[in-house]
Structure 1
Amino acid sequence: MNETRYPGRRALAGLAALPLLHTRTGRAQAFPSQPIRMVVPYAAGNATDILSRLLAPAMAQALGQPVVVENRSGATGIVGSDFVAKSVPDGHTLVMGSIASHAIVPSLVRTAPYDVLRDFTPIMLAASLPNVLVVHPSVPARNLAEFVAYTKSQPGGVNYASVGNGSSSHLAGELLRVKTGAQLNHVPYRDAAQALTGVLAGQVPMLVYGVTGVLPHLRDGRMRALALLSQSRVPELPDVPTAGEQGLGDFIVEPWIGLFGPARLPAPIAQRIFAAARAALDSPEVKPSLAAQGLRPSGLGPEEFRAFVAREIPRWVEVIQASGATLD
């Protein structure tokens, strides 16, 4: 667990104006009254962890208390997320969730211990990460249509890698299979590094992954990009068309990362946290680092973020039901 302290004199001076919360003794105190725990429900080093550690120092400066990033990984984000769902809703325990933990996995796991819209308070949609479908150079396809045809021509179909069960790279393959009839077999890896290695070695022909993570391999010819799974092309790969440009307008898989608190978090506290997180997202110290990681900042606030999540969940439920995928 890493702890970064940036109290900031102006932030400390303004504590009296911060929202008040009532303790079990009935006494009111300013928020925040203690360090804020930001749980990352994944291991250190992935995009959610990196984003959290980029935002934490600037948020601490704005809030006048340390923001402590804590990794609680397990069950594709369920362990850490459930911990926060069951925490006291006083603003001092938050989770940096993702498309996996807060849109995909709760539907993939029939015994998931939480309901996202019931058990969490959405605070801010922080960022998204454009995905690209890549293949090993031995695959003869040069576009999506050719790749789909190739999968159908192979006895037993074609394997595709993912960074783990329940990840967006997993469901991207299922979505392509449902939409096109592609003959694909899921091969889950323990993490991104192993999945990338599997594709680079030619062990698994296909992977959907973030643009920044595969860019060096595309440039040296060890992978080939077939389609961006985003709304529009990206500056890093200006010559790679989107799936929509290739006739699959609904084949969009953009992993997102967002900040949540427990359910029943008082609105003034949620707004205070959002203001600090949004300021951190927009700060000149953070913006270049986000770009270097391929993260596109968003900054949607509590109400807009809740509406966004409410649209995302049924979208992936439809894919999961159509594909028959499950983690139970």
Structure 2
Amino acid sequence: MTGSPISYAVLSSGIPDDPNLGAAPEDSPEVPVMYTARSLAALEVAGLAAQVSDAARALAPRALDSEAHGALLADAIAVRALADRFVAAAAVAERGNEATWRELGDAAGMSGSTAHSTWKSAEADWETAYLDVLSAAVLGDPDLDATRRAARLDTWIGAHGGDESAPGPVAARLELLSTDGEAEQLARLDTRLLEQDTEPDPELYAALVLRRAEVDEALAAALAPRLRREQLRRAAANRAYARELVAELPAAVAARYRERLDTPKIAEYASSDVPAPVPIPTVVASIGPTESATAESDSAPPL
């Protein structure tokens, strides 16, 4: 994202350094929790709003200090640069809510074409950043976990005059991806990893293949019995391939995935009206891990 007017630092490096926030929990989620692009763009705006507020408030008592010449102006310019990122992130979030460039231009006192040229690169960078955040969710990276970030923002809001009785002013509004939506975004992430010039990170790719297996199993639950078997065949092949990939990871890393690898999400097959899934060894023999790993779903629409 070099040269971007937005660095998406809230999602990649944290909420403002404030003692009232407390430390984020260190445990990783058992399974990935994935949110819509619209929700994460709004979370970015909320985090930048907190950063701008803290930066401006910190500057206020220093305005009358007799510091070295230029120090106050330099600090003010830094706050303005942060505010510019805040504005660009807000434009991206508005686009995620289907605002037109003309509507954004009207709000900013400019033409739609000027709004487009001003923030189009920020919108494109957000599409890339969103896949980066999904990668972190697949890995269960606590430093990039949106649920924790939202909870810490809720604490920040309460500590700065917000309504503490409200049930999570930020966290409660995050939208989870639907199962279909997650399948589409995981397919996009898979395509990006396989098309990049360097080999994918081994743990990321193993975690991605495992998550695709889990999503395929969840999708199978909503299908008619005659269609369900094929969905589960693909899920079982992905799960078997994930086992192969995880086996190549360092032992301490592989241990994080062992329980999920051995627990297919197919409890619905206890129901008498649903045919039993094809045993995994049979599926692997008939399909093979390589084919399952490279099969892609339909291309997802742009964010």
TM range (shorter): under 0.3
Greater relative contact order (Cα < 8 A, sep 6+): 1
TM-score w.r.t. structure 2 length?
0.25
TM-score w.r.t. structure 1 length?
0.24
Q: Who wins on radius of gyration, i.e. which is larger?
A: 2
